[in-house]
Amino acid sequence: MGAAKLRNYIGGEWVEAQTVEYAEVIDPARGKLLARVPLSTSADVERAVKSAAEAFPDWRNTPPAARARYLFRLKELMEDRFDELAEIQTREHGKTIDESRGETRRGIEQVEVASAIPTLMQGCNLEDIAAAGIDEHCFFQPVGVFSHIAPFNFPFMAPLWFVPYAIAAGNTFVVKPSPRVPLSQTRVVELFEEIDLPPGVLNMVHGANEATNAILHHPDVAGVTFVGSTAVGRDIIYKSCGETGKRVIAQCGAKNFIVVLEDCDLEKSMAGLMTSFFGNTGQRCLAGANLVLVGSDSFRQRAVDAFIGAAAAIRVGDGMDGSVQMGPLQNAASKQRVIGYIETGIREGAQLALDGRKLRLSDPDLPQDCFLNPSVFVDVTPQMTIAREEIFGPVACILRAADLDQAIDMIHESPYGNSAAIYTSSGRAAQKFRHDVKCGNIGVNVGVPAPMAFFPFGGMKDSFFGSLHGQGKDAIRSFTDPKVVVERWF
């Protein structure tokens, strides 16, 4: 039996895409064909947006408490199918099962927070604003049809930064999963169908560039949310939304610095550093990329030795094996891209102290197309390509700084501003770091400062384009319009 062909979900029905083009969905650890995903056309997008637009008036007039009850039921279903959802993520993406469980938990938390929409969407008022008997009210009203263009690195969680908030606020939605990892969102949409969400409130269109462009230029799409590279987010998504008057949240690329001061507890810090640099195989926008050591020569050498030793001990293999600590890259092209950066680093004079191209897999019989072990460069300078560009793989660059001020200057020389972290036992240093560093997410003795669902997902400079961010109250404000009413009765 061949692999299943996926279908779009439009108007409450599973429908065939109007295309003959399909892409293969491959398990990167085993090389197994999981499914075939349609590369939908602009006609498919037109149909989905039409369905969402037609569903909007009734859904917009559904009381917020009633909309929240759908999310309560969705949350219960996700809890019941927790292990299944995690396994799907590992199969199609390659991340470890523990990482997939963490992603599933964080995704469910988004649904939980969005369920508080009767409170989150509340407006404000004040009586007698200018004279007795004149009152003023502010209501937050839904806008219309929104869409999400999803990334490959968090196939379950990333769309949930937006979808639950948008529909809870009374909007309708078209989600386009990454064609590399469409199975997680397909399962999520199936769960939405199980809770009897009204037809057209949530639609899903699979596809690639044609579907994306159709969403961006459709006049009935009020706003687009995006997670992915800066090149796409800034030069295509943000630019197009500006030209067509759409709202936009574009959470983009990163080159995250982690500063380690000599006064830190190096032993206790190492586990967090490994998770930051090599968790999700380095394929996340909050991943550590540049490790900046500040301190004496002896401290720096101790830190380098400890870091390389811990990285070399990471167990790499099929993420479904519970003992594995790092899975494969998501596809073979990603592996070759990372190898290209490793070769560039060597060519520019950095020392490759740990070469992840020399595979050490937990199961030697695994296909090697997508696997790399952790790589660590030392003697890296800020001007090198590997220190400046987002590699998006398991490669760590170790740099030196004379003091904290120089380390912060290195961070600010980067065009990105997604995340930065400091490891220290000094409250003064930590306070200076969190105050001065121009990044949207700051960690203090935390290597992956991922905001909880009730906080906005920060980002600055070339890591974010838009006005309001994903998650929490920011998402609600992005998906609503304030309407001010000044009222007087005679």
**How does pLDDT run across 18-29, given as a tens digit for each residue?**
999 999 999 999
Residue 235: pLDDT over 80: yes
Please give the single-letter amino acid code of residue 415: P
**How does pLDDT run across 338-389, given as a tens digit for each residue?**
999 999 999 999 999 999 999 999 999 999 999 999 999 999 999 999 999 9
Q: Give whole-number Cα distances, 266 to 205, 270, 310, in Å.
A: 47, 6, 12
User: What would the mean pLDDT of 403-412 be, rounded to a whole number?
Assistant: 98
Domains present along the chain, CATH in parentheses = 4-252+463-488 (3.40.605.10), 256-444 (3.40.309.10)
**How does pLDDT run across 50-84, given as a tens digit for each residue?**
999 999 999 999 999 999 999 999 999 999 999 99
Report the alpha-carbon distance of residue 475 to residue 477 in Å, rounded: 5
Residue 196: pLDDT over 60: yes
Instruction: Please indicate whether residue 370 is annotated as part of the active site.
Output: no
Per-residue pLDDT at 3: 84
pTM above 0.85?
yes
Report the alpha-carbon distance of residue 141 to residue 345 in Å, rounded: 51
- With both helix axes pointing from N to C terminus, report the angle between 82-93 and 183-194 in degrees, rounded to the nearest 10: 160
For residue 118, the surrounding DSSP H or E stretch is helix 117-120
Residue 420: pLDDT over 90: yes
Mean pLDDT of the chain, nearest integer: 97
Catalytic residue among 285, 370, 397, 439: 285
- What are the residue ranges of helices labelled H in 355-426? 385-388, 404-413
* Contact status, residue 144 vs residue 167, Cβ threshold 8 Å: no
Please give the single-letter amino acid code of residue 49: V
Report the alpha-carbon distance of residue 140 to residue 158 in Å, rounded: 25
Residue 2: pLDDT over 90: no
User: What would the mean pLDDT of 322-347 be, rounded to a whole number?
Assistant: 98
**How does pLDDT run across 439-487, given as a tens digit for each residue?**
999 999 999 999 999 999 999 999 999 999 999 999 999 999 999 999 9
Please give the single-letter amino acid code of residue 63: P
Q: How many helices (H) and strands (E) does the chain have?
A: 17, 23
Q: Which residues pair with 396 in a beta bridge?
A: 376
User: What would the mean pLDDT of 258-287 be, rounded to a whole number?
Assistant: 97
Q: Give whole-number Cα distances, 48 to 78, 147, 159, 208, 230, in Å.
A: 25, 10, 17, 15, 27
